[in-house]
Amino acid sequence: MTAALLHGRRALVTGAARGLGAAIGRAFCDAGAEVAALDHPSALAAPGAWQGALALACDVTDPAGVEQAITEAADSLGGLDIVVANAGLVPPWRQTEELDFAEWDAVMAVNVRGVAATVAHAVPHLKTRGGAIILMASINAMVSHPRQMLYTASKHAVLGIMRAAALDLGRYGIRVNALAPGPVATEALIGRLHQRASEGGPPPDEALSAFAAQTPLGRMASEDDVARAALFLASELASGLTGRVLPVDAGLIP
């Protein structure tokens, strides 16, 4: 069933070169979709970057560039049915009194304005047929953790975008939902844990084990777990869901 779940659908995923975006893109391809992979030019050019059926350079901080890339993807694929706004940044941990507001603006430009631009410019390509939009939030959209004010604020904003867009776009048959992953051992997370260890934090292996021990499943959520959740939300299996956030955290948040 999974192999045909998205048969004939055209999907676009931002931040698709690596990590969760690449895992989602691959899952969509395996389910029968044609996938346009959008990412920053430097990410697409990096060794091992996932290219999808169609790779397009896109800086989501540039709304005009987002519009152009989405239009090119829709033209190349013959339309769009699914859009995943996954591109995002995770800033360094900082105490409240140490906030860097240049960093704040840079992260908000990607995590919030970039998501809003992706949604806004996708609508003209979805509204005649309906479709699914999936935004990448985080468990930090529902709870917070010390030293993560900026990331938490940006992901709370993603839920606001999702809820408002769901109300606006339902009349076109466009469903808008969000995923809220817990810690996932992506390359990016491993890199942050190494950085944290260099600043006196626990070794990465210990940190990952601690994450796993906190969950009812006794393990962290994986990239594949998140990709399968995205596949569900993109498919007709979720035809009655909009304006919802789906945690993928191995039960970390009660």
Give me the residues paired with residue 12 across strands: 36, 83
* R_g of the chain computed on alpha carbons: 17
Helix (H, G, I), strand (E, B) or coil at 88: coil
List 28, 50, 93, 151, catalytic entry? 151
Retrieve residue 155's tokens. Answer: 């992901």
Retrieve residue 238's tokens. Answer: 């979720």
Backbone angles phi, psi at 71, to 5 degrees: -65, -40
Opening angle at CA 129, ends 126 and 131, nearest 5: 55
> Which of 164, 161, 181 has the alpha carbon at shortest distance from 118?
161
Sign of CA dihedral 181, 187, 192, 193: positive
Whether 172 is a known active-site residue: answer no
Q: What's the DSSP call for residue 92?
A: P
CA atoms of 69 and 82, how far apart (whole Å): 15
Cβ atoms within 10 Å of 248's Cβ, excluding its own: 20
Q: Tell me the DSSP string of 226-244.
A: HHHHHHHHHSGGGTT--S-
CA atoms of 102 and 38, how far apart (whole Å): 25
CA atoms of 248 and 230, how far apart (whole Å): 10
Give me the residues paired with residue 131 across strands: 174
Catalytic residues: 151
